[in-house]
Amino acid sequence: MMRYSLRGPHRASALLATAVALATVAACSNDSPSGPAGPTTTAAPPSTPPPSPTPTPTPTPSKSYPLSSAPRTVPAVRAHEAARGPGWKPAPTGGVVIAAGSGALADEGQLLAGELGVPYRGAVAAGPGDVELALGGTGAPESYTLTVTGGRVRIAGPDEAGVFYGTRTLKQSVKATGAMPEGTVTDRPAKPQRGLMVDIARKHFTAAWLEDRIREMSDLKLNQLGLHFSDDQGFRIESDSHPEVVSAQHLTKAEVRRILALAAGRHVTVIPEIDSPGHLGAVIAAHPGLQLVSASGRTPRGTVDISNPESAKIVDELLGEYTRLFPGAYWHLGADEYVALMSKNPEASYPKLARAAVAKYGPSGRVQDLATGWLNDRAAVVRPTGKTLKAWNDGFFTGGVVAPAKDIEVEYWTGREIGARLPVSYLSEGRKVVNLNDDYLYYILGEPNRFPYPTGRRIYEQWTPRVLRGSTPVPARYDPQILGGRLAVWCDLSRAQTQDQVAAGIRLPLAALAQKVWDPAPPTLTWADFRVLAAKVR
């Protein structure tokens, strides 16, 4: 609705007409639809009007805005306080500025300015049409407040990651609708660990492909990229300590550093994994003396003899080298699918391991104790770096004389293995768990062993971080111990898809995962609407 005002000098002889007109306009501008004025009587103007003082200027006409709606983003913002106003749109007269004392946000500011097509002006006072980034205030890690008022945007948070996520909200809203609505967004993640894991060991992925995934993930407010770079089929990162184990197709250390630099700028932590004592086929190919041999002479693929000190020596040398290359806060030790422990009677099948277990741990020592000791020893190698340690759930055993170290996080993926423990058994021990439920979050090339490609719709409509195994959630009391979830790309049949097909296949599952680890509430959009929105905000 328009609010009207009369302008210009008044003629003395028109006072009566003006009074009538003002009363009519006032009635029409009282937040109700205006209609035609009723008939009025006007006097004839005199021949010589007396002088009149210039009136005080009145406000220019302005619109009355409806209450704003929440911005359209993936993941959805958790709280939006509506307001009346035009919102904000990128304009050449506006730019991105950094608040006083917030110089650490220069990278975020330059990135956002480039994305929005507006100037970056650095540490200057915010002006009309500007976006201001600011560090400070209280709040949870990775939280932010985004306020749109008076034609400006202010994004503030207690840490750089939070402010960065606020810029993702602004970017996505502009891409989806052309504007950021008036009002205040208050937002934070439900879970601290959110991301993607890629098996780059079985299939070589280029550095450029991984960089594209980092950009995609960060726009979805995902903050972890796992790199499983050693397995039976390949060892995919350049090595100085053991170049003989490296596959022909691999990432150079210069490429890895480039990936790490991009990840750091997008607040994504890269989590490396050298899986052991299983899945070491690429190492064994160069060092066949490390191969485990069963009583019948069988040589299970990728399985090192953990009673052989040389096995530990080479793995520890690799751990030492790559913990220096990767500066992130996490290290994945693997520990899954050690074939010796997948037999019905490990002691009978692998008597050498059985003898070593008794020698090291006494008469009650078993092969599982030897494997748990291996896990703890590798953890001891990495722990001095300050990294948080992770291992797959089937590398944790109960009932032995040796217990896995308490500070190792459980990456729960399977309920299909023989003797697999239920998630509650880990949670009841007080362990922290990350969700990689293979029923929902495993994207396995070629779909072997009845593993269909995960769909974004199924994750969006059925999965939550508490659904760790199958489709049944664990009790709500364990929710604080569940740190988040990651989608996992495994390349068992590496030629089944190209890397571009993988990128297309995981796009919607990643978007759905992002929604479910950011906001614990059931989604408000239908899957059809979410899918359309996910395409708009890319």
- Exposure letters 28-49 (e unless 16+ CB within 10 A, then b): beeeeeeeeeeeeeeeeeeeee
Rounded to whole angstroms, how far apart are CA atoms 287 and 310?
10
Question: Residue 58 has which token pair?
Answer: 């009145």
Cβ(401)–Cβ(362) under 8 Å? Answer: yes
Rounded to whole angstroms, how far apart are CA atoms 64 and 43?
35
Determine how many CB atoms are found less than 10 A away from the CB of residue 512: 30
Query: What are 59-65's contacts with CB under 8 Å, separation 24+?
Result: 59/3, 59/5, 61/2, 61/3, 61/4, 61/5, 62/3, 63/1, 63/2, 64/1, 64/3, 64/31, 65/182
Rounded to whole angstroms, how far apart are CA atoms 141 and 164?
12
DSSP string, 94-162: --EEE-TT-GGGHHHHHHHHHHHT--EEESS---TT-EEEEE-S--STT-EEEEEETTEEEEEESSHHH
Burial class (CB in 10 A: 0-12, 13-18, 19+), 100: exposed
Query: What are 305-312's contacts with CB under 8 Å, separation 24+?
Result: 305/352, 305/353, 306/277, 306/353, 306/356, 306/370, 306/371, 306/374, 307/352, 307/353, 307/355, 307/356, 307/370, 311/277, 312/374, 312/377, 312/378
Burial class (CB in 10 A: 0-12, 13-18, 19+), 9: exposed
Active-site position among 108, 132, 337, 411: 337
461 is catalytic: no
HSE (side-chain half, CA atoms, 13 Å) at 395? 31
HSE (side-chain half, CA atoms, 13 Å) at 27? 9
120-122, strands of its sheet edge to edge: 79-81, 183-187, 144-149, 152-157, 131-135, 96-98, 120-122
Cβ(428)–Cβ(468) under 8 Å? Answer: no
DSSP lists the bridge partners of residue 271 as 226
Report, as residue numbers or ranges, the catalytic residues: 337
